[in-house]
């Protein structure tokens, strides 16, 4: 534990995939010590602490996120579902790979009590209005220091298309990656959200977008880079490494 001030630490871990949260909290404490000793740490451990759960979505401007609540109170969750104009999505506040994510339709609510029990057994639940465009999948756009990650004039963006047998767009549950375009709508979203990510020291981050709304911000180990490279025919790792290298010189 004797780092050189010219070293760079790149954090690639994911607390949502570990049943024990404490190792990640210790890691963040250690990374803060490294930063205090002059070592460059990406992403900033203070920013990672703020983005440790899906609650970080609250930092996104309201117009760019679906109606959302976070609660452990069954009555509050049930009221949100009752007031929804259509289907809702219920998921754990801390989670990944689509685990324990449920789509609840207005005419199929018999299992709502059991779903709530599952989600609040070990933490908080996040409940959102279902975005209808989700049938076409979501779009992951990667940002570097608050700007769309770009190489060769192309932006690192990739779609995840549900299998048709599952509403979730997680590749882990059968969705497939597909090519995507960086649209004007995505530009508007990244322009609005990028400065906040940069201010929080979240140098490398991913946004999951459905129908013009961000449903999740990925600050720990944002995936999609390999698929974005393949579909765009460029190497998006180069600008990332260039940024990290330049950071040691500044």
Residue of higher predicted confidence among 113 and 23: 113
**Is 3 a residue whose pLDDT tops 60?**
no
Task: Give the mean model confidence (pLDDT) for residues 211-220.
Answer: 92
Q: Using the 8-state DSSP alphabet, how is residue 104 labeled?
A: E
**Is 1 a residue whose pLDDT tops 60?**
no
Contact 104, 88 (CB under 8 A): yes
Note the pTM of the prediction, 2 decimals: 0.88
d(CA 138, CA 92): 19
Residue of higher predicted confidence among 23 and 114: 114
What percent of the chain is predicted at pLDDT more than 90? 58
d(CA 36, CA 96): 31
pLDDT digits (tens, 9 = 90+) for 162-178: 776 667 666 666 678 89
d(CA 116, CA 15): 22
Task: Give the mean model confidence (pLDDT) for residues 205-214.
Answer: 95
Q: What pLDDT was estimated at residue 223? A: 85
Question: Residue 38, CB half-sphere, CA atoms under 13 Å: how many?
Answer: 9
**Is 86 a residue whose pLDDT tops 80?**
yes
The secondary structure of 106-167 as a DSSP string is: TT--TTHHHHHHHHHSSS-EEEEEPPGGGGG-EEEEEEETTEE-EETTEE-EEEEE--SS-S
**169: left (phi > 0), else alpha (psi -120 to 50), else beta?**
alpha
pLDDT digits (tens, 9 = 90+) for 104-140: 999 888 899 999 999 998 789 999 999 999 888 899 9
**Is 206 a residue whose pLDDT tops 90?**
yes
**Is 15 a residue whose pLDDT tops 70?**
no
**Is 2 a residue whose pLDDT tops 60?**
no
pLDDT digits (tens, 9 = 90+) for 180-199: 999 999 999 999 999 999 99
d(CA 79, CA 121): 19
Q: What pLDDT was estimated at residue 53? A: 82
Average pLDDT of the chain is 88
Q: What pLDDT was estimated at residue 220? A: 85
Burial of 82 (0-12, 13-18, 19+ CB in 10 A): exposed
Measure the CA angle with vertex 155, ends 197 and 93; round to 5°: 40
């Amino acid at each position: 534990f004797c780092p050189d001030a010219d070293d760079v630490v790149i954090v690639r871990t994911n607390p949502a995939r570990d049943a024990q949260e404490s190792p990640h909290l210790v890691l963040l404490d250690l990374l803060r010590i490294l930063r205090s000793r002059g070592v460059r740490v990406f992403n900033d451990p203070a920013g990672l602490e703020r983005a440790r759960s899906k609650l970080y979505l609250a930092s996104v401007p309201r117009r760019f996120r679906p109606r959302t609540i976070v609660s452990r109170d069954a009555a509050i969750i049930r009221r949100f579902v009752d007031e929804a104009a259509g289907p809702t999505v219920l998921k754990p506040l801390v989670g990944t790979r689509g685990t324990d994510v449920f789509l609840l339709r207005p005419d199929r609510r018999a299992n709502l009590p059991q779903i709530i029990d599952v989600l609040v057994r070990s933490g908080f639940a996040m409940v959102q209005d279902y975005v209808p465009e989700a049938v076409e999948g979501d779009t992951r756009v990667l940002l570097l220091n608050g700007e769309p990650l770009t190489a060769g004039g192309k932006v690192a963006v990739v779609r995840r298309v549900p299998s048709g047998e599952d509403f979730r767009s997680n590749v882990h549950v059968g969705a497939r990656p597909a090519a995507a375009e960086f649209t004007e709508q995505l530009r508007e979203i990244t322009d609005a959200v990028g400065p906040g990510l940069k201010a929080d020291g979240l140098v490398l981050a991913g946004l999951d977008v459905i129908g013009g709304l961000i449903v999740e911000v990925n600050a720990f180990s944002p995936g999609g880079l390999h698929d974005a490279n393949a579909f765009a025919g460029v190497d998006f790792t180069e600008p990332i490494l260039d940024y990290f290298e330049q950071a040691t010189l500044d």
